[in-house]
Structure 1
Amino acid sequence: MSRAQCPRCMRPQSHCLCELITHLDSRTRVLLLQHPSEVNHALNTARLAALGLINAELLVGEVFEDLDRLLSPPGYQARLLFPGADAQLLQASAASGENLPVLLVVPDGTWRKARKLLHLNPLLAQLPRVTLPEGAVSRYRLRKAPGPGALSTLEAIVQALEILEPATSFAPLLRPFEALIEGQIEAMGAETYLKNHGDKS
């Protein structure tokens, strides 16, 4: 028999995160395009981002039929948050001389799945790309990062928003994420956590 699930955060009712999910507004609009393989992921940080941000939308799929409309909301300039040789370092709109707010398009999935989304949706690949400054350290202590600066989707969005809108703190978005990690560490036990994820230096 499956455990009762919260319909909002999709966590078991006994571990519901809704009390920790904030309701922040932003000038930046965030469009999350989630690969279906991420929907049932234990963390699903893209969902946490969409729940915590008023001006955000989460869509699940591999091919997005209505992408032309989604990428062209009136009064916004679309940017794809994804690394690449032609990606520009993200900076505050005022510093870059751009007055229109940003539509930040964020593919959510493993690197392989995210690249597949770009391949299957050519309009995505045509967007100007932006990337985050190097050196960020993920708070996701239960997974070995695939490379330096590798962040969860939620962490990347928080960092991007704080660059685009430096007068606002988006750190409260991370509260349910941190609680989720603490809960997983507690479930596995301190000894197991230290053995598998502790500092090896």
Structure 2
Amino acid sequence: MSRIQCERCLRPQTHCLCPLIPSLDSRTRVVLLQHPSEVGHALNTAKLAALGLRNAELRVGEVFEDLPALIATPGYRVALLFPGEDAQVLQAYSAQAQALPWLLVVPDGTWRKARKLLHVNPLLAALPRVTLSEVLPSRYRLRKAPGEGALSTLEAVVQALNVLEAPVLFDELLKPFEALIEGQIAAMGREVFERNHLR
């Protein structure tokens, strides 16, 4: 018998995160493109980002045929939030005279799956890229990071918004994420967590 799920956060009702999910306004528009393999994942951070930001949208798929319409939102500069050699470092709006707000397109999946999304969506790969000048350490203690500076999708979005919209902070978005991680650690047992993840 399957457990009853919350229709909003997709967590079991006994572990619903909705009371912790904020509803935050942002100048920046965030479009999250999620690989289908992430949808059923217990740590679905893109879903938390979409639920916590009023100016965000989550799409699931591999090929996004409606991408031209998604990124054609007037009044925004469009960029892919993804590292790359030519990626422009994000700066606070206050440091840019009369700059249009960003529409950040954020691929969500493992690094391999995120790169696949770029490969099968040439328009996505062709977008100008933006990145963070300084990456704060990840709080994602349950997945091994593929390299230095790797973040979950939610953490990348929070850090980008904290830079762009300073002095406004979006750390409240991390509350359900931290509760989710603590819940997973409790479920597996502290001893198992320390043996398998604290290395």
TM norm structure 2: 0.96
* Secondary structure of 1:138's aligned partner: coil
Provide, for residues 73-98 of structure 1, a one-character-per-residue CA deviation record: whole Å limited to 9, x for no partner.
Answer: 01011010011111111112342446
The residue that corresponds to 1:2 in the other structure is 2
Provide, for residues 46-78 of structure 1, a one-character-per-residue CA deviation record: whole Å limited to 9, x for no partner.
Answer: 000000000000000111111111111010110
Deviating more after overlay: 86-95 vs 58-67? 86-95
Identity rate, percent: 73
* Secondary structure of 2:147's aligned partner: coil
Residues 4-83 of structure 1: matches in 2 within 5 Å? 4-83=4-83
For 2:177 and 2:145, the matched residues in 1 are separated by: 16
Please, which runs of 5 or more residues in structure 1 have no aligned partner? none
Provide, for residues 121-180 of structure 1, a one-character-per-residue CA deviation record: whole Å limited to 9, x for no partner.
Answer: 111111110111244211011122111110000000000000110021100000000000
For 1:45 and 1:181, the matched residues in 2 are separated by: 11
* Secondary structure of 1:130's aligned partner: strand
For 1:150 and 1:160, the matched residues in 2 are separated by: 14
For 1:126 and 1:76, the matched residues in 2 are separated by: 17
* Secondary structure of 1:103's aligned partner: strand
For 2:83 and 2:135, the matched residues in 1 are separated by: 14
The residue type paired with residue 15 of structure 1 is H
For 1:14 and 1:148, the matched residues in 2 are separated by: 35
For 2:161 and 2:135, the matched residues in 1 are separated by: 17
Preserved contact between residue 32 and residue 57 of structure 1 (Cα < 8 Å) = yes
Deviating more after overlay: 108-117 vs 21-30? 108-117
Preserved contact between residue 135 and residue 148 of structure 1 (Cα < 8 Å) = no
For 1:135 and 1:60, the matched residues in 2 are separated by: 26
Please tell me the root mean square deviation across aligned C-alpha atoms, in Å.
Answer: 1.2
The residue type paired with residue 114 of structure 1 is A
The residue type paired with residue 45 of structure 2 is T
Moved over 6 A (4+): none
Please, which runs of 5 or more residues in structure 2 have no aligned partner? none
For 2:8 and 2:118, the matched residues in 1 are separated by: 28
Residues 1-201 of structure 1: matches in 2 within 5 Å? 1-97=1-97, 99-198=99-198, 200=199
